[in-house]
Amino acid sequence: MTRAALVACLAGCGATARTPGGGGLGDDLTLYRDWAVVRQRITLDVPAATATLPIRIAAEVTPDQVLLIDRGGLQITAVRATEAKPDRLALDVSAPHPGRYAVVLGYVSDRIHWDVAYTMTTTAARDRAQVQGALAIRNRSGITLHAAHVRLIDAELGAWRGKTAEQLAAALVGGTQASTPPATPRELGAIEIGDGETRVELLQPATRAMSSVLVYDPIGTKLDNPGATPLRDARMGTGPAPSRVTESFEVKRDPIATAGLPAGPVRLLERRADRSLVVLGEARLFDAATRVADVDTIAVGTAVDVTGARERRELTIDDDGRRIVEEFVITLDNKRARPVEVLVREHLYRGQNWTLAYPQGNEGALAAKEGPQQISLRTHVAARSQAKILYVVVYTWGQ
């Protein structure tokens, strides 16, 4: 990371240096998918008016990667590697008098990583689920961070900075804003992060409404193009689509409690009468593709006697109008002796600048946006009948 990028990041993280419970200063940490941005407070005992003092920061951080945020009343003339221990740094300082001073340094480190996992636990009634999650922070930096303030941003550092800059441009000069906002920072509070693994309860147990649903998702996210200019390949997404419809459960989200939660795997468990637990299904929660969804869905099996089909009816590439128009029809076939409700999930994979021109079918299925390139459409399929959903998506690009 360049020094200019580090300056921008430290300025834009919203970080402050505080100790737990308030008062004084402490370390500050922002965790991204690829980097950790550190503001480290270091206390120096300065024995004379001028001195060279060794400092201990995260391993493999070089002098040119260090930013002086708060000099603590000292004049710091150089940050350099020490001769005795090349892996350690030193500060050349001048002080108004001998004494103890506190300085704050900023840098990025790739030696602090994290993982997250979630569980949902339901009962035999399967109408509610208790959701909880935990974060594992793995510290290989060689130092302990007495972090007064920790936040997590579920994005790579460069991508998140680009998204926030895009939002700022849209607000100030009317630039084109992303179809979905960037990841929301998740504040974790004060944590002491020592060597090895530190576990943090990310989501306290909370009960959410749960219900069964059939889901038809023939494409998935594998074709998603995150760029603003749509892909023009006429063959894209037209191969044979799977017919499988899944028996799934959907769990209602709490938008306030889940804001900023990072994406990770989830296991849906059922607690039996004898208190034992069995796994019903596995999925992922809070992926970028579902960032603005109202519910989370977990597949638990194949829906017998219900199938789906996906067909493209039209593709028009209009270079003069700078748009691509694509029309699809989804056919749901219900051979059951009772009606079913089906959630159809479609992915607008050509690019992120899109709008729906005709988002409904013969049963009045309306589209709900779930993420930057994902929509869901719900429809009713009568017993031993078919239902069709037609939608038209229009992609555009700039000058």
What percentage of the chain carries pLDDT values higher than 90? 75
What pLDDT is recorded for position 291?
86
Among 55-69, 114-128, 156-170, 352-366, the range scoring the smallest mean pLDDT is 156-170
324 & 354 share domain:
yes
What pLDDT is recorded for position 316?
96
Q: What are the tokens at 97? A: 């008098």
**Confidence band (pLDDT; 50, 70, 90) for 16?**
very low
**Residue 4 dihedral angles phi and psi, to the nearest 5°:** -65, -40
In this model, does residue 14 exceed pLDDT 50?
no
189 & 293 share domain:
no
What percentage of the chain carries pLDDT values higher than 70? 85
How confident is the model over 226-271, as pLDDT tens digits?
Answer: 888 999 999 999 988 999 999 999 999 999 999 999 999 999 999 9
Length of the chain: 399
Question: Mean of the pLDDT values across residues 134-154?
Answer: 95
Looking only at the bridges linking them, the beta strands covering 145-152 and 27-31 are parallel
156 & 9 share domain:
yes
**Confidence band (pLDDT; 50, 70, 90) for 182?**
confident
Residue that wins the pLDDT comparison between 85 and 234: 234
387 & 346 share domain:
yes
| Number of helices followed by number of strands (H, E) in the chain | 2, 22
What pLDDT is recorded for position 239?
86
Q: What gap in Å lies between CA 312 and CA 37, rounded to an integer?
A: 46
What pLDDT is recorded for position 164?
57
Query: Does residue 139 fall inside a structural domain?
Result: no
Residue 135, beta-bridge partner list? 116, 200
221 & 187 share domain:
no
Query: Does residue 206 fall inside a structural domain?
Result: no
Residue that wins the pLDDT comparison between 364 and 66: 66
In this model, does residue 17 exceed pLDDT 50?
no
What pLDDT is recorded for position 196?
95
Query: Does residue 342 fall inside a structural domain?
Result: yes
Domains identified in the chain, total number = 2
Query: Does residue 267 fall inside a structural domain?
Result: no
In this model, does residue 3 exceed pLDDT 60?
no
What pLDDT is recorded for position 2?
52
In this model, does residue 181 exceed pLDDT 90?
no
Query: Does residue 141 fall inside a structural domain?
Result: no
Residue that wins the pLDDT comparison between 344 and 85: 344
Query: Does residue 9 fall inside a structural domain?
Result: yes
> Among residues 159, 193, 227, which one ends one of the domains?
193
234 & 351 share domain:
yes
189 & 307 share domain:
no
Helix (H) or strand (E) holding 8: helix 3-12
What pLDDT is recorded for position 25?
56
101 & 152 share domain:
yes
The parent domain of residue 312 ranges over 212-247+289-396
Give the Cα-Cα-Cα angle 33, 37, 41 (nearest 5 degrees). Answer: 150
> Among residues 193, 226, 259, which one ends one of the domains?
193
Q: Are the C-beta atoms of residues 28 and 39 closer than 8 Å to each other?
A: yes
**Residue 202 dihedral angles phi and psi, to the nearest 5°:** -90, -35
What pLDDT is recorded for position 165?
52
152 & 230 share domain:
no
3-class state of residue 172 by DSSP: helix
Q: Return mean pLDDT, the chain.
A: 88
Residue 303 maps to which CATH number?
2.60.40
In this model, does residue 362 exceed pLDDT 80?
no
Among 40-49, 175-184, 309-318, 340-349, the range scoring the smallest mean pLDDT is 175-184
What pLDDT is recorded for position 23?
35
Q: Are the C-beta atoms of residues 76 and 68 closer than 8 Å to each other?
A: yes
Q: Classify residue 243 as exposed, middle or buried by CB count within 10 Å of its CB (0-12, 13-18, 19+).
A: middle
- CB burial of 187-207 (b: ≥16 within 10 Å; e: otherwise) equals ebebbebeeeebebebbeeee
177 & 219 share domain:
no
Give the C-alpha distances (Å, rounded to integers) separating 366 from 265, 322, 347, 354: 29, 26, 15, 16
Question: Mean of the pLDDT values across residues 307-312?
Answer: 97
What pLDDT is recorded for position 163?
60
How confident is the model over 280-289, as pLDDT tens digits?
Answer: 999 999 998 9
Which pTM value belongs to this model? 0.84
Question: Mean of the pLDDT values across residues 109-132?
Answer: 96
How confident is the model over 364-392, as pLDDT tens digits?
Answer: 567 899 999 999 999 999 999 999 999 99
Question: Mean of the pLDDT values across residues 23-27?
Answer: 62
Q: Which DSSP symbol is given to 179?
A: S
What pLDDT is recorded for position 15?
43
Query: Does residue 270 fall inside a structural domain?
Result: no
Q: Supply the DSSP string of 342-356, one letter for each residue.
A: EEEEEE-TT-S-EEE
What pLDDT is recorded for position 365?
66
What pLDDT is recorded for position 203?
87
236 & 342 share domain:
yes
Query: Does residue 262 fall inside a structural domain?
Result: no
325 & 364 share domain:
yes
